Amino acid sequence: MRNGAYIDRFLLGVEEIARKVSREDIDRAIEALYQAWKDGRTVFTAGNGGSAGTATHLAADLNKMTAIPGRPRLRAMSLVDNIPLLSALVNDDGWDNVYTEQLATFYRPGDVLITISVHGGQGRDKAGAWSQNLMKAIAYVKERGGTTIGLAGFDGEPCARPATSAWWCRTTRHLTWRASTWCCIT
């Protein structure tokens, strides 16, 4: 096998993350989602870059996996999916406000926000500090008494710390972190 060392390193990284993640935080996230379902609330998901794709996929899974004939369904909506709205908000209000502007329209008390960020708001590049739109969305929901669930990697404490329930795992490998995200949320 030509890629054995890479495969082993990847799987060991996923295993390490699985060992480190807080079972209590996962339990709180499950309970928050269950309560949202029982109360007929909406779960919003958000992320940037590859995490936007994860947020979209998670919202789709939450919608589809709760589609049981004769039973109420969990409403889930990804805040990254409406491209015309996203581009209008970025144009008029800036990238930092792209999620809070949508929450101002859709959020209702008792709703849940799930944010997903590999870097978790830690770091910056030519566009400025990373994930500030997620940080603002978390603050928006918390200021209104809502529940937030944060999934963050690397040194992602800024996104994880303010969340009602969070798992934050220090890793420097994007792909390993993404795979671990799916192990915990699916």
Residue 36 Cα distances to 82, 111, 143, angstroms:
23, 7, 18
The residue behind tokens 């909506």 is 77
Residues contacting residue 161 through CB under 8 Å, at least 6 positions apart: 168
Q: Is the pLDDT of residue 182 over 50?
A: no
Nearest to 19 by CA among 154, 142, 173, 171: 171
- The pTM assigned to this predicted structure is 0.84
Strand (E) positions, the chain?
Answer: 42-47, 75-78, 112-117, 124-125, 128-129, 147-153, 165-169
Percentage of the chain lying above the pLDDT 70 cut: 75
Q: List the beta bridge partners of residue 43.
A: 76, 112
pLDDT tens digit string along 121-135?
Answer: 555 566 666 688 998
122 and 158 in contact (C-beta within 8 Å)? yes
The mean predicted confidence, pLDDT, of the chain is: 81
If you search the block for the tokens 């708001």, which residue do you land on?
121
44-93 residue pLDDT tens? 999 988 889 989 999 999 999 888 899 999 999 999 999 999 999 999 99
Q: Per-residue pLDDT for 111 more than 50?
A: yes
- Distance in Å from the first CA to the final CA of the chain: 30
Distance CA 47, CA 54 (A): 7
- Return the CATH number of 4-185, one of 3.90.650.10, 3.30.560.10, 3.40.1390.10, 3.40.50.10490: 3.40.50.10490
Provide the residue ranges of all domains of the chain, joining segments of one domain with +: 4-185
